Amino acid sequence: MISLSFKFIFLGVDRIITLYFSKFAKALILVSNDQKERLIQREEVIRVLERASQDEAFWRELAENGSEALKEYRLSSNAKAAIVSGDLNWIRKHIGELTEEQLLFIHKRLERENW
């Protein structure tokens, strides 16, 4: 009788441990996916800004068509809005510091607004 009770207790503990680690593993996967998305987002913003600084036709399309020019990129609506509007605060906060070449489109975009 004692061994049977011990078996049930062990199975209960085993189940609790399995559930705990299952939830822990799922949380790690979610964190990992979130970090992966942020990294992809950063790389995509940099790719857009570098292309805009090197490809005059793309720069013009981006200036004229806004987020429509960004549909082939994996960007959130916030990232698209920041690029199109020239939101340096958002870009620095979410992407980090960029080179002057990468910021060329943003600076020109802000110059157009000043006129």
Reported as a single tens digit per residue, the pLDDT across 10-56 is 556 566 666 666 666 666 565 566 788 888 889 999 999 999 999 99
Reported as a single tens digit per residue, the pLDDT across 77-104 is 999 999 998 899 999 999 998 898 888 8
For the cut 80, the answer to whether the pLDDT of residue 109 exceeds it is no
pLDDT at residue 73, rounded to an integer: 95
**CB neighbourhood size of 94 (10 A):** 16
Alpha-carbon gap, residue 70 to 42, rounded angstroms: 14
* Tokens (6 digits) for 85: 């509007």
Q: What is the DSSP letter of 4?
A: H
Is the entire prediction scored with pTM above 0.75? Answer: no
pLDDT at residue 79, rounded to an integer: 95
